[in-house]
Structure 1
Amino acid sequence: MVLLENDAFLTELTRLFQKCRTSGSVVITLKKYDGRTKPVPRKGHPETFEPADNKCLIRASEGKKKISTVVSTKEVIKFQMAYSNLLRAHMDGLKKKDKKSKSKKTKAT
């Protein structure tokens, strides 16, 4: 998995969306990231790790291609605006949900 800067992540994510436009899908996950690179120590051992600030880890994958980035609290607003514009631009292939008519609901009850 490749850890990228925020702007590089958004450009690579754009490429992933364009590659999967006709077929395939892009999976995006977000989770809280405290900066740990090692697992939590077992019980009985002192924990000396103190996270500096809250961060968010964002991962995107398409088949074998995986990218990720870490967004700090200072950059969240800027990144969120660019990320939401990117999602709006590339989520045009979604299918609309079938609506049930009211008459069918009344007949069933």
Structure 2
Amino acid sequence: MVLLESKQFLTELTRLFQKSWLPGSMFITLKKYDGWTKPIPQKGFVLGFEPLDNKCLLRATDGKKKISTMVSSKEVNKFQTAYSNLLRANMDGLKKRDKKSKNK
């Protein structure tokens, strides 16, 4: 997994979209990242650990190449606008759903 800056992530994401437009699919995941890399024990929790800054972890893969980035809460608005524009531009190859008739 390659951890990139947010601008580099968006450019690599456009390349992944272009590469997998016809032949395949892509998976994008988003989750909250608090900086804690080890699992919390079941019998309690670690005292004194507070994240300094809330972050989002974005991962994208096409099955062969994996990329990821972390976006801090300070730059999330700027990243979100660029990310939504990228998704709008590249989601034109989706298949239409089959509508079921209500007469059945």
TM-score by length of structure 2 reads: 0.87
Query: Residue 83 of structure 2 corresponds to which residue in structure 1?
Result: 83
Equivalent residues, number: 104
* Preserved CA contact (<8 Å) 2:40 2:46: no
Residue identity (%) = 73
Query: How far does residue 96 in structure 1 lie from its aligned partner after superposition?
Result: 2.0
Tell me, which stretches of 5 or more residues in structure 1 are unaligned? none
2:18 corresponds to 1:3: no
From the superposition, tell whether residues 21 and 38 of structure 1 become closer, same or farther in structure 2 (CA, over 3 Å).
same
Moved over 4 A (4+): none
RMSD of equivalent CA atoms: 1.9
Query: Residue 92 of structure 1 corresponds to which residue in structure 2?
Result: 92
Query: Residue 71 of structure 1 corresponds to which residue in structure 2?
Result: 71
TM-score by length of structure 1 reads: 0.83
> Which has more helix, going by share of residues?
1
Q: What do residues 63-101 of structure 1 show as CA deviations (whole Å, max 9, x unaligned)? A: 121111111111111000000111111100112223455
